[in-house]
């Protein structure tokens, strides 16, 4: 199997969609020699911020001298970004090799049970096997969906559980209220294993505490009041957290301050598990961290920013960030959302902030129909238009810009990768 065949194989598995549960994973991993417990792991669940927190933690651990495996989803720019070793994407040769090995195990599973694994189950097994064979010191594993029945929740070698901000999302799968959704996220908490969490709303906090108590696990919550002295200078954010003064991150977006603080808290705590991390490692790791599609500035002339805000909580945080960073700019939005998201509520929060809005369909079978999104957004902003495709949306937005405009593309990560490529291919250069 070569790289292209491996990519096509995974794409063809998309028809299976999402299937939660761990029985298939147990048997699939058995055929692979149970690699999931070979490398100590930090396991991260949550609605928003998983990728950013994982990025901060990984960079801090890499700076501390450890070989760090990282598994993320979904990919934004390149399929290979889901599997990382010390911040570098898996190479095409290794990718093809590990997909081939897991494919053989999947066929054994099918022959035995008549059930074929999902794409995410295959990809998760690739991660466990890759990190084991590369002899990683530690891995940072991001939940795909929910937590309790997510394919990543099969590993038992967890040294720390982390739960980022929880909000309403995936209501058709996880539940239609905050308590039930948090209960599913809390499923990653392991017996006797410390869990740290972002500051949560009352219902979510209650669910997390209940799960931790049932598993005799300590749970610690971030207190936003401990984050003080915030300032923005030359596209970097500075803040104090606890006894750390003047920490600096390159990732923009006000929400990244909380994500960074959660990562700092995590790295302080893993010192208990013989992973030595000092203040210099934390400072350098925070500064080096970068994550595509999270308030990412693609261009300066015109200002062109992309962000993966696709639910109510993320949309609210994104609008607060625009008030800080783009307060003197008239905004042009490009928006693409999935049909299973609360796009009506997101529209109500965001539409009034834009001068003009361009609607696109995502490159995903779950995309919200462009005409539906157009109708919803027009209720809140008459200056809403539909683009034929993502390339056309980028071109339209740039043509509409004047000196006091900024372009903000947000919504599903499934279209931002293609959009980023379109922007990067534009002949117009920054000055």
Pick from 173-182, 198-207, 346-355: least confident: 173-182
Q: Tell me how far apart the alpha carbons of residues 224 and 221 are, in angstroms, rounded to a whole number.
A: 9
Q: Where are the domains of the chain?
A: 3-288, 296-424
Closest CA to 20 of 175, 139, 160: 175
Would the pLDDT of 120 be above 90? yes
- Domain at 3-288: CATH code: 3.40.1190.10
Would the pLDDT of 431 be above 60? no
pLDDT band at 170; cut points 50, 70, 90? low
Q: What percent of the chain has pLDDT over 70?
A: 97
Tell me the pLDDT tens digit for each residue of 382-394: 999 999 899 999 9
Would the pLDDT of 76 be above 80? yes
Full-model pTM: 0.91
Q: Tell me how far apart the alpha carbons of residues 30 and 20 are, in angstroms, rounded to a whole number.
A: 18
CB 188 within 8 A of CB 163: yes
Most confident of 63-77, 124-138, 264-278: 124-138
Higher pLDDT, 234 or 236: 236
Note the pLDDT of residue 413: 83
Burial of 221 (0-12, 13-18, 19+ CB in 10 A): middle
Note the pLDDT of residue 339: 79
Note the pLDDT of residue 428: 46
Do 3-288 and 296-424 have matching folds? no
- The rounded mean pLDDT for the chain is 92
pLDDT band at 175; cut points 50, 70, 90? low
pLDDT band at 17; cut points 50, 70, 90? low
pLDDT band at 430; cut points 50, 70, 90? very low
Would the pLDDT of 18 be above 90? no
Average pLDDT over residues 88-102: 97
Residue range 296-424 forms a domain whose CATH class is alpha beta
In sequence order, the 6+-apart residues with CB closer than 8 A to the CB of 393 are 334, 358, 359, 360, 387, 409, 419
Average pLDDT over residues 227-239: 93
Instruction: Work out the angle between the directed axes of helices 279-288 and 50-63 (0-180°, nearest 10).
Output: 130
- Could you tell me the CA-to-CA distances from 55 to 44, 69, 238 in Å, in that order? 11, 11, 18
Angle at Cα 170 formed by Cα 169 and Cα 171, nearest 5°? 90
């Amino acid at each position: 199997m070569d790289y292209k065949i491996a990519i096509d194989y995974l794409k063809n598995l998309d028809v299976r969609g999402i299937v939660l549960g761990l029985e298939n994973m147990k048997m699939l991993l058995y055929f692979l020699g149970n690699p999931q417990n070979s490398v100590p792991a930090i396991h991260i669940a949550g609605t928003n911020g998983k990728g950013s927190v994982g990025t901060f933690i990984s960079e801090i651990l890499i700076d501390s001298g450890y070989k760090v495996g990282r598994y993320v989803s979904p990919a934004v720019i390149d399929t290979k970004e889901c599997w990382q070793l010390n911040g570098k994407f898996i190479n095409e040769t290794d990718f093809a090799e590990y997909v081939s090995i897991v494919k053989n195990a999947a066929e054994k599973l099918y022959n035995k049970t008549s059930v074929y694994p999902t794409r995410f189950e295959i990809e998760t097994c690739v991660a466990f096997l890759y990190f084991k064979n590369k002899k990683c010191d530690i891995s940072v594993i991001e939940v795909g969906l929910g937590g309790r029945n997510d394919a990543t929740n099969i590993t038992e070698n967890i040294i720390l559980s982390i739960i980022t901000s929880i909000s309403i999302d995936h209501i058709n799968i996880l539940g239609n209220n905050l308590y039930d959704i948090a209960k599913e996220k809390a499923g990653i908490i392991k017996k006797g294993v410390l869990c740290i969490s972002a500051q949560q709303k009352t219902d979510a906090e209650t669910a997390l505490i209940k799960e931790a108590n049932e598993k005799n696990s300590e749970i610690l919550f971030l207190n936003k009041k401990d984050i003080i002295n915030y300032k923005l200078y030359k596209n970097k954010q500075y803040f104090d957290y606890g006894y750390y003064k003047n920490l600096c991150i390159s990732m923009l977006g006000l929400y990244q301050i909380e994500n960074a603080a959660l990562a700092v808290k995590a790295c302080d705590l893993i010192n208990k598990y013989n992973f030595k991390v000092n203040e210099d490692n934390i400072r350098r790791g925070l500064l080096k961290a970068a994550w595509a599609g999270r308030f990412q500035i693609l261009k300066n002339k015109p200002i062109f920013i992309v962000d993966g805000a696709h639910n109510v909580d993320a949309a609210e945080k994104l609008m607060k960030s625009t008030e800080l960073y783009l307060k003197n700019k008239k905004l042009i939005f490009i928006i693409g959302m999935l049909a299973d998201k609360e796009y009506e509520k997101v529209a109500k929060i965001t539409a009034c902030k834009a001068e003009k809005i361009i609607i696109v369909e995502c490159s995903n079978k779950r995309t919200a129909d462009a005409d539906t999104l157009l109708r919803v957004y027009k209720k809140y902003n008459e200056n809403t238009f539909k683009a034929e495709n993502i390339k056309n949306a980028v071109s339209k937005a740039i043509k509409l810009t004047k000196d006091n405009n900024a372009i903000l593309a947000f919504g599903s990560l499934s279209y931002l990768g293609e959009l980023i490529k379109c922007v990067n291919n534009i002949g117009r250069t920054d000055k």
